[in-house]
Structures are given as structure tokens and as C-alpha cells.
Amino acid sequence: MSLLTGVLISTLLLFIVLLGATQEAETQAASTADDTAERPSFPVPDDGEYAPGQIIVELEEEATQADLAAINERNDASTEENLPRSDVNVVDLPDDLSVSEAVRRYEASPDVDYAEPDFLLQPAQTVSPSDPYYPRLYGLNNTGQSGGTPDPGVPPQGASPP
């Protein structure tokens, strides 16, 4: 009976220690999430790698397009595009409002989840891939090898690999 009691007490102590460690980890994760909520979501880069004169704005769940229109009116801006099935909008800025100032103003609004520059995307690779089997993928690098027009990216119908 004493062996069984010792095993039960050891199991209980182990459970209590693991439970305490789990609660500590959850508390640390919650405090980290709160810390990031205070920082701007997207600092504006200085290198100009974003479209001048416009920003991307996502509204809070409970905010409406009327709320965005009110913010736009205060900033002399306009909504260029409301992306369907989302709360994301492209906002055109007036000439006298910089992108960095607009991001700051829009993120200060309680109706805005985030505002960010309209970053320009560049291809990650501009030279031929390093995949050794790339030449076998004739349809991805159309040089007109099967009688088609070079570079449309799709071989002509009925074309076979070289």
C-alpha cells in the first residue's frame, strides 16, 4: 500500500509542476502579444520601395466603409479600391500628405486595424532557376522550340517536348 501511495503522490506532484509551467508559458505569450499591439504594424521604409501616394488600410471588424470615408475626409484622401470579401482598402492620398504621415494618422484611428504602405513586390529571382531539371520543363521557358512564339510561357497546343 505504501508503494502505491508513493506513486500516486509522485504523479500528483508531477502534474502540479507541469500545470504551473503551462500557465507561466501562457502568461508570457499573452504579455508578448500585448507588447506588439502598441508598436506600429508596418514602419515605412526609407528606400521608396512602396507606391507613392497610396496606402493599404484594413478596418476593424466592426468598422464600416462610412467610418473609412470619415477618416478619408479628415485627410483629404479617397478610397481607390475596396477589395471584395475583406476589410482591406487602397486609399489614395493627397499630394501634400506623405505615406509615412498617412500611415501614422490612419493607425491612430480606432476604426483601423492597420495601415501600411502599398509595398512594391519584386520577383525573388530574375535569372534561370538553379533546378537541374529546369530544362526539361519546356513549357516554362518557351523559346519557340516547337514552332510557337517565343516567351508567351505556354507552348502551342499539341506541341511535344524537344
Which comes out higher in pLDDT, residue 137 or 133? 133
- What percent of the chain is modeled with pLDDT above 70? 64
Distance between first and last Cα of the chain: 81
Rounded mean pLDDT, 53-64: 92
| Domains defined along the chain, listed by start | 50-119 (3.30.70.80)
pTM for the complete prediction?
A: 0.52
> Which is more confidently placed, 99 or 136?
99
Give pLDDT, residue 36: 45
For residue 2, what pLDDT is reported?
Answer: 78
What pLDDT is attached to residue 31?
Answer: 46
Q: Which comes out higher in pLDDT, residue 42 or 135?
A: 135
Which residue, 120, 121, 116, is CA-closest to 103?
116
Query: Residues 130, 119: contact at Cβ < 8 Å?
Result: no
For residues 33-60, give the mean pLDDT. Answer: 69
When pLDDT is averaged across residues 137-156 and rounded to a whole number, the result is: 64
Is the pLDDT score of 158 beyond 80? no
Quickly state the pLDDT bin for 87 (edges 50, 70, 90).
confident
- For 13, 32, 129, the CA distances from 26, given in Å and listed in that order, are 20, 10, 43
User: Where does the pLDDT of residue 126 fall: very low under 50, low under 70, confident under 90, or very high at 90 and above?
Assistant: low
